[in-house]
Structure 1
Amino acid sequence: MDTFNPRSTAKIAGHPIHPMLIPFPIAFFVGTLVVDIVFSRTGDPFWSTAGRWLLGAGLVMAALAALAGLTDFLSGPRIRALPAAWHHMIGNVTAVLIELVNLWQRFAHGDGFVVPVGLVLSAVVTLILLYTGWRGWEMVYRDHVGVAD
């Protein structure tokens, strides 16, 4: 059996790509929650427009992060054996699907969708991201995925 830590296969100059990309969709999705709260307080359409832009940027960056993460997941049988990896992946896919619906409905229904439904969806995704981030870091700290000793 391999005695080395599980390795990331999607990397640049030895550095895993997935952890380089994930801060972007997290920031964009949490930022969406922030601007939804501001929109709910002010009613200023600027904030609902900002929310659509943040959701769009978050979905693009989430797709890139998912591509790198899925590459690692599929190429590493030791990674696939970790329950945390499955929870991390399933939770993040769920979050992205919720945000995809969130953006679609904002285009379909306009500003009226943001409060309360869009706001609730943004809050749910933020909670999911807290959980999946915890599970992702658990893989790094406990299982040493992608860690070079």
Structure 2
Amino acid sequence: MQSRLRVHGHPIQPMLVTFPFGLFVCATVFDLTDVLGGPAMLGLVGYWTAVAALFAAGLAVVAGMVDLWDVPEDRTRRTAVTFNLLNASVAVLFVFGCLMRSGVPEHGATGALVLVELLGLLVGAVGVRLGASLVRQFDPRNTEPTSFDGFGPPATSVAGGFGRRRSR
């Protein structure tokens, strides 16, 4: 499967998913710090970080829907649909969290809000795992090394010519 949305040969959707997830983690850390007695300003920062993450999640969901058009009707499609549903459910949980704090002065965080956000991050972690398996399945050349071989010398040498393997 080739993604319709690509930059320099790489699919956009896996890149876009990292932004909202990272922002959701930051929002949760800010809110947790606010609940544990940190400055009240951190609750406001957590709120606006979650709002920014929701905008980024919207872009990721749209890119995921575009990519679903090309997924074959098999187990892979079910995995891709599950991945996109998990990402959307994380966004729904954080929308719920933003609505919970809309009536609170300065959009401060509460313990219940932090629990909702932690649940959202748990669901998001499952989504990240599924997304990583999809990327490995569709682009095997981008797999990470599974041993310390990835830290070794390069396979080609400029002095030895391009494209030729060095003997070890």
Shorter chain as denominator, the TM-score bin is 0.7 to 0.9
Identity %: 22
Question: What is the rounded CA distance, in whole Å, between the counterparts of 1:79 and 1:41 in structure 2?
Answer: 48
> Pick from 25, 30, 49: which aligns with 2:20?
25
- Uncovered stretches (5+) of structure 2, i.e. residues with no partner: 142-168
- Uncovered stretches (5+) of structure 1, i.e. residues with no partner: 1-5
Report if the CA contact (8 A) 2:44-2:107 is conserved. no
TM-score by length of 1: 0.84
Report if the CA contact (8 A) 2:43-2:107 is conserved. no
Question: What is the rounded CA distance, in whole Å, between the counterparts of 1:89 and 1:128 in structure 2?
Answer: 12
Residue equivalent to 1:52: 47
Structure index of larger Rg: 2
- Show CA shifts across 1:55-98 (max 9, x none): 1110011111111111001x213277523212211111111111
CA RMSD of aligned residues (A): 2.0
Residue equivalent to 2:82: 87
Question: What is the rounded CA distance, in whole Å, between the counterparts of 2:12 and 2:134 in structure 1?
Answer: 15
Residue equivalent to 1:76: 70
Q: Which has the higher contact order (CA 8 A, sep 6+)?
A: 1
Q: Give the number of aligned pairs.
A: 140
Report if the CA contact (8 A) 2:34-2:108 is conserved. no
The amino acid of 1:76's aligned partner reads D
Higher helix residue share: 1
TM-score by length of 2: 0.75
